[in-house]
Each structure stands twice: as C-alpha cells, then as structure tokens.
Amino acid sequence: MDWKRTREPADAWHMTDDLHVEHGKGDPFAAAIRATRMSMIITDPRRPDNPIVFANDAFLRLTGYERHEVLGKNCRFLQGPKTDKEAVGQIRTAIEDKADVSVDILNYRKDGSTFWNALYISPVSNDKGEVQFFFASQLDVSDRKRSEHRITADKDRFEKAVKERTAELEAALEAQTTLLHEVDHRVKNNLQMISSLIIMQRRTIKDEATRHSLTTMLERIEALSTVHRRLYQSKDVSRFDVSDFAKDLVTDLLTASGRSGIKPKLELDPIVISAEKATPVALMVNELVTNALKHAFKEGPDGTTAGRIGIKMSQPDGHFNIEVSDDGVGMAEANGDASFGMRLIKSLARQLHADIEWRDAGPGTKVVISMPNEPQQEGLSHD
Amino acid sequence: MTEPLKVLIVEDEALLAMELESLVEEAGHSVVGWATSSAEARSMVESTDADIAFVDIHLTDGPTGVDVAHYIGEKKRSMVVFMTANPKRIPDHFAGAIGVIAKPYTMNGLTSALRYLQEGVRRPPPVSTRPAGFTLSPAFEAVWAPAA
C-alpha cells in the first residue's frame, strides 16, 4: 500500500479561474465530478467528525447506499470486521497530518458484501494554507486483489509441495544408503569368510604344490578384499581411489612374501576410477606384482634376494596409466610359467578396454597398461 | 621379548571368529574368550582377564558392538579394537576404543595390527608403522602418533 505526497506547481491551482465559467448548473467542473464514472466524495474536516458533504452517483453505485444515507456521516461506515486496522491507521494519520494518502483497503457495501477499494485522499487548502475539505476517490480493485492472492496462494502451495517432495526424496535416499551399507556389510563379511576358509584349508595341507595353489588363490581374494574394504567409503559411492588401494596391496604382498630385500617404489597420483573398474584393476595389479615377486628376482650368493618393485599410476590426458616394473632378471630369463595368470591379465585388460605392453627395462621388466578414464571431480574426500 | 596379548573375541560369525583365533595364536598370543552377543560379552568381561577385545559392531543381538565397547571402557579391564565391515557406524569418539580394523582385512593386515597393538598395549607408543586397514581413534591418534 502506498502512502505518497504530491506537490503540484502553483499555477495549476488557478486553472479553473482561467476558464471564467459560472458556478451552478453551467459549471463544467461540477458537472464533470457529478457525472464521472470514478467514485468521488468530499468531506468537511471543519465539521465534527469530518463528515461526507458530497458524494457523486458513482460512489452511491459502488457502495450501494442512497445519498441521504451517506451525507453527514464519517466514511468509516465503509469499514468492517475484516478491514485491516493498519490501513485505517494510515488513513487516520494522513488526515491528521493533512497529507495525501493512497491505500488499498477492504470496504463493505450496504448489502454486507466486500470489495477492495484503492482509496486516494487529498486535502483541499485555500491560499492561506488552511484545509477546507478532503477529496477522496475510490476504485474497485477486487479483481486485482483476487489475482494477487491467488498468486501468493499458488506460490505457498508450490513451496509446500516442493518441501514435502524434498523430504520424501531425502528419506528415500537415506533408506537406499542404509540398504547399500547393509548389503555392502554382508559382502565384506562374506569375503572375509572366503579368505578364512582358504587359510584354514591351507593349514591342513602338507603338500607344497597344493599349498602354493591355495596361497595364489588367497592373494587374489585378498586383492578383492582390499578393494571392498575401501569401496563405498567415500562420499561418492560410485568412485574409488586407486592410489590408496595400491599402497595397501603392495604392502600386503611384500610383507606376506617375507622377502625383506625387495623394496617398493611407489609413484601414485591420487586417481579416482569408477567403482566397477576397481575389481578388474585390483586383480590385474595383483597378478603383475605377484608375477614379479615370483619370477623376477634371483637369489644372491648369500641366499637373500634384493631388488625393487615399482608401481606408477598417472593420468595423462583422459587416460589412466599403470606401470608395474621390477629391476630383476628381465623377460628373456623369466619363467614361462604364467599361463593362467597371463590369461587372466589379458582378459582383464580387455574388460577395461586397456592396452597392455611388456617392455624390456634393462635391467628388469616394465609392464605398461593404459586405459581411458573419466576426468577427475573436484573436492572428493575419502575415509 | 614383549609379553603376548590375551585376546577376547566379540564376533557373531563363527567362521570369522575361528579364523581370527587361529591368526591370533599363530602370532604368539592367546584367546581367552569368544562372545557372540553383547550379553555374552558383558559376562565374559567379568569372568576373563583380557588385554584387548576385538569387537564387531553387528552381534547376534543387533548392532550392539558400540555398547560393548562402552561397557569394557567403563570397567577398564581391557582395551577395545573394533573389527567391522561398517566403520561408519562407529561414533566420532570411538566409545573409547583404540581404533578400528576394517573388514575384510588381509592376513598381513591383521598380523601387522597384532604387532602394532602389542607394542601399544605393552609399551606405548608403538614403534612399528601403522598397518594398512587400521584406523586410530582421535584420542589414540594423539597419543600414539604414527612412527612413520
């Protein structure tokens, strides 16, 4: 609701004089006020309670009253129970201050029906600045108000619907996440059981070749376990940090081998891959490292073996590269006993759409794997 | 030679408890009890004298592992290490436990953890590197700050 003051230039006040017209029936200005479609009244603040002293036909049509019912009364009869007290206060203040006021107010007709009145009141003063009358015009803006209310109601309804939907989705997401963790917990426990079964079985077996077979199996399963321990631990459950995983894997394999003379050299950029790539990558790195441990290093004259196993992970240009290298005997001298392991490596490379190359590193061997990888996301946290 | 540890196992899966017992014994320590529920765990804490308790979160009477850890902490009888597939269920303060070994752990992961724990329990702080898959609670992180 507005409350504005207007100030007209001084010569505007004298326009009527310039026309030199009569008062009475021939007065064009009075005729205009009487006949206009705009509802208008005039009140006299010098009489008690500022009563209406003139009301045009449009006012009577708008409010439903007869002329004799409104003359002499203060226009507060237009107010009713639902009229906003603040709007009434604005009018009262303006009249006391003898200022213009423009306000939307809810008014009541004679028949009790309501309408929104865009009311404009301005004081009429003489040349001495004394207020003689108040002029008020009224405009029925019920349609506009209805539209405004409808828009606000729609907006509120919409916001409430959005809030409810958001709460539903959040609850569904939480339920899904809980379920995911539940299933994941089962899988992890089951992987632990598979490892346990193999270790238990191996303890009962005396034959070296069979024990060796079981150990190879255990290593592969522990590679899977290491993946799963880290899977779904980061905020984004669909992604997996390979560098942390590679550190764990190499540490486990080297320590389990008991060959303290072989040292790891790790150059691991923090790289994230999609969860579905984690398992094949893990199995492949496990095969390559265990291969190197088995075949690359020859025992020295003092019975110990020394050497280095290197793992490098980098991501040049939309690719994810893994290099597993050793400084041992080199490919020519290596044992050809790699048939199942080699098949596994090559199949896994196909699954990952990876190129794989064995290179002579003189001394030793370097295996280079390159696969396409998605760009990294910012601000990933894990553990 | 540091004195071996006396271990209480609180784990609902029999297979995993069996294997854990074997690994603990192979590493030179002894297992003084095995509980599958929080109620069993509470009575075992009274009747046995363990240095550390390996406690799974999910037991036969629900996810009561954290309660067990609280109980043991109050009794001050032994130190607790959580052993769980669901480390996210552990509260931030770890209910007073040393830390957590995440499942599935590898053989090497567990034997390294046993060595680390033996050092930490008998003659803190431990000197070995913190093993892979082992996370310390904030309280113990401050006291046993890793050697490497």
pLDDT single digits (tens) B90-110: 999 999 999 999 999 999 999
Q: Taking each helix axis as running N to C, give the angle between helix A208-230 and helix A142-204, from 0 to 180 degrees, rounded to the nearest 10.
A: 160
Q: Is the peptide bond before A280 cis (omega within 30 degrees of 0)?
A: no
For chain B, what is the mean pLDDT?
90
Burial class from Cβ neighbours inside 10 Å (0-12, 13-18, 19+) for residue B39 reads middle
Asked whether the beta carbons of A144 and A133 are under 8 A apart, the reply is: no
Tell me which chain B residues have a C-beta less than 8 angstroms from the C-beta of A248.
109, 132-133
Encode A185-211: b = buried (16+ Cβ within 10 Å), e = exposed. bebbbebbbbbbebbeebeeeeeeeee
* Mean pLDDT of the region A115-119: 97
Supply the pLDDT for residue A10: 63
Cα-Cα-Cα-Cα dihedral sign, residues B34, B36, B40, B42: positive
Tell me which chain A residues have a C-beta less than 8 angstroms from the C-beta of B86.
181, 184-185
The set of residues, in sequence order, having a beta carbon less than 8 Å from that of A67 and lying 6+ positions away, is A55, A60
Q: Are strands A262-268 and A307-314 parallel, antiparallel or unpaired?
A: parallel
Please give the model's pTM, rounded to 2 decimal places.
0.65
Supply the pLDDT for residue B4: 93
Instruction: Check if A309 contacts B (Cβ < 8 Å).
Output: no
Q: Give phi and psi for B132, each to the nearest 5.
A: -60, 145
For chain A, what is the mean pLDDT?
87
Tell me: pLDDT of A374 over 80.
no
Asked whether the beta carbons of A348 and A284 are under 8 A apart, the reply is: yes
CB contact under 8 A, A192 and B105: yes
| Mutate: best of B36, B86, B107, B134, partner A, most A CBs <10 A | B107
Distance CA B32, CA A331 (A): 51
Share of chain A above pLDDT 70, in %: 89
Q: Three-class SS of residue A149? A: helix
A188: its two tokens: 């992890």
Tell me: pLDDT of A1 over 50.
no
CB contact under 8 A, B15 and A199: no
Instruction: Check if B135 contacts A (Cβ < 8 Å).
Output: yes
Low-confidence spans in chain B with pLDDT less than 70: 1, 146-148
Q: Three-class SS of residue A209? A: helix
CB contact under 8 A, A193 and B132: no
CB contact under 8 A, A189 and B85: yes
pLDDT in tens, A218-266: 999 999 998 888 877 766 777 888 888 898 899 888 888 888 888 999 9
Supply the pLDDT for residue B124: 86
* Mean pLDDT of the region A317-343: 76
Which of B15, B22, B58 is opposite residue A193, by nearest beta carbon?
Answer: B15
Instruction: Check if A109 contacts B (Cβ < 8 Å).
Output: no
Which of A218, A229, A247 is opposite residue B103, by nearest beta carbon?
Answer: A229
Q: Give phi and psi for A156, each to the nearest 5.
A: -65, -45
pLDDT band at A30 (very low <50, low <70, confident <90, very high): confident
Nearest CA distance, B79 vs chain A (angstrom): 23
Q: Which helix (H) or strand (E) holds A273?
A: strand A272-274
pLDDT in tens, A123-156: 999 888 899 999 999 999 999 999 999 999 999 9
Q: Torsion over CA of A11, A12, A15 and A18, rounded to 10 degrees?
A: 10
Q: Which residue has the tokens 């631990």?
A: A233
Instruction: Fill in the DSSP letter of residue A349.
Output: H
Tell me which chain B residues have a C-beta less than 8 angstroms from the C-beta of A235.
none
Supply the pLDDT for residue A338: 60
Which of A188, A251, A252 is opposite residue B85, by nearest beta carbon?
Answer: A188
Q: Which helix (H) or strand (E) holds A337?
A: none
Distance CA B96, CA B104 (A): 23
CB contact under 8 A, A252 and B109: yes
Tell me: pLDDT of A382 over 50.
no
Cα-Cα-Cα-Cα dihedral sign, residues A25, A28, A29, A31: positive
Distance CA A1, CA A350 (A): 73
Q: Give phi and psi for B36, each to the nearest 5.
A: -110, -15
Amino acid at A369: I
Distance CA B10, CA B41 (A): 7
Q: Which of A4, A166, A167, A224 is nearest to A97 (CA)?
A: A4
Q: Which residues pair with A252 in a beta bridge?
A: none
pLDDT band at A172 (very low <50, low <70, confident <90, very high): very high
Q: Three-class SS of residue A71? A: coil
Supply the pLDDT for residue B29: 96
Chain A residue at shortest CA distance from B58: A185
Chain B residue at shortest CA distance from A181: B86
Chain B residue at shortest CA distance from A227: B104
Distance CA A382, CA A239 (A): 10
Spatial strand order of the sheet with A307-314 comes to A262-268, A307-314, A319-326, A365-372, A355-360
B48: its two tokens: 């046995």
Instruction: Check if B63 contacts A (Cβ < 8 Å).
Output: no
Angle, alpha carbons A304-B108-A261 (nearest 5°): 20
Report the first-to-last Cα separation within chain B, whole angstroms: 23
Distance CA B45, CA A103 (A): 79
Supply the pLDDT for residue A261: 86
Asked whether the beta carbons of A273 and A240 are under 8 A apart, the reply is: yes
* Mean pLDDT of the region A175-182: 84
Supply the pLDDT for residue A6: 56
